[in-house]
Amino acid sequence: EVQLVESGEGLVQPGSSMKLSCVASGFTFSNYGMNWIRQAPKKGLEWIALIYYDSSSKYYADSVKGRFTISRDNSKNTLYLEMNSLRSEDTAMYYCAKGGLWGWYFDFWGPGTMVTVSS
Amino acid sequence: DIVMTQTPSSQAVSAGEKVTMSCKSSQSLLYSENKKNYLAWYQQKPGQSPKLLISWASTRESGVPDRFIGSGSGTDFTLTISSVQAEDLAVYYCEQYYDTPLTFGSGTKLEIK
């Protein structure tokens, strides 16, 4: 059974940094691209970053480019999101999602971890 | 960026009724080399993370009831629920994966009368 479990939930001040983790199990993690997607309270879904199975390519939404960094450690079956210069508009539920076999749809999602940026 | 427009924003139906919802993209999602449409549909029930229903515009995921039907090509897509059940109460999102940035529609909220 595929499982994705995010961690790193918390309340942080504007301008600060935070790192999220997502531990994967139930599939061969090193064979699949992975994504971070967020959802602000009462809002829709926003894709923010993807990373290829071997970390050879990474893509970001303009809203986080230059501030967030996606990475992975295939030996630990873990996906990361390093978030710097956090803003109030980054307040959201952050989901880790597995990429599909042949396309960048999201076939499994974690339960999410909440990040609140507020003074 | 490819803009995804979903209509209606909300819809209320009775159990057993048929419901359709639309998703339009600002450019074609049909890749000419493989004739596939790079469009997915997700269901997000209250308090839960989204669940993939359909990929490639019309390919139902394993375990998804056959009352969920995806159709369309190019820029116009539809999700049909042939006979709505009470458990289908959710927000439905479309997503294009033709190009980055990957983008979602704003969602259609399905309410059960």
Which residues have CB under 8 Å from B89's CB, separation 6+? B45, B46, B110, B111, B112
B58 touches chain A (CB under 8 A): no
> What percentage of residues in chain B have a pLDDT greater than 70?
100
Name which of B99, B102, B104 to mutate to probe chain A: the one with the most chain A Cβ atoms within 10 A of its Cβ: B102
pLDDT in tens, B14-49: 999 999 999 999 999 999 999 999 999 999 999 999
**Nearest neighbour of B97 by CB, restricted to A46, A103, A108:** A103
Instruction: Please indicate whether, in this complex, the C-beta atoms of A44 and B104 are within 8 angstroms of each other.
Output: yes
Query: What average pLDDT score do residues B67-86 get?
Result: 98
What is the predicted pLDDT for the residue at A25? 98
pLDDT in tens, A24-82: 999 999 999 999 999 999 999 999 999 999 999 999 999 999 999 999 999 999 999 99
Instruction: Please indicate whether, in this complex, the C-beta atoms of A95 and B50 are within 8 angstroms of each other.
Output: yes
A9 band by pLDDT with thresholds 50, 70 and 90 = confident
What integer best gives the mean pLDDT of chain A? 97
What is the predicted pLDDT for the residue at A6? 97
Block residue for tokens 């880790």: A96
Are the beta carbons of A119 and A107 closer than 8 angstroms? no
What is the predicted pLDDT for the residue at A101? 86
In this model, does residue A10 exceed pLDDT 90? no
B70 touches chain A (CB under 8 A): no
In this model, does residue A88 exceed pLDDT 90? yes
In this model, does residue A3 exceed pLDDT 90? yes
Contacts of A105 in chain B (CB under 8 A): 40, 52, 55, 95, 97
Instruction: Please indicate whether, in this complex, the C-beta atoms of A109 and B49 are within 8 angstroms of each other.
Output: yes
**d(Cα A2, Cα A110) in Å, to the nearest integer?**
10
What is the predicted pLDDT for the residue at B74? 98
In this model, does residue A102 exceed pLDDT 90? no
Instruction: Please indicate whether, in this complex, the C-beta atoms of A62 and B55 are within 8 angstroms of each other.
Output: no
Query: What average pLDDT score do residues A84-92 get?
Result: 97
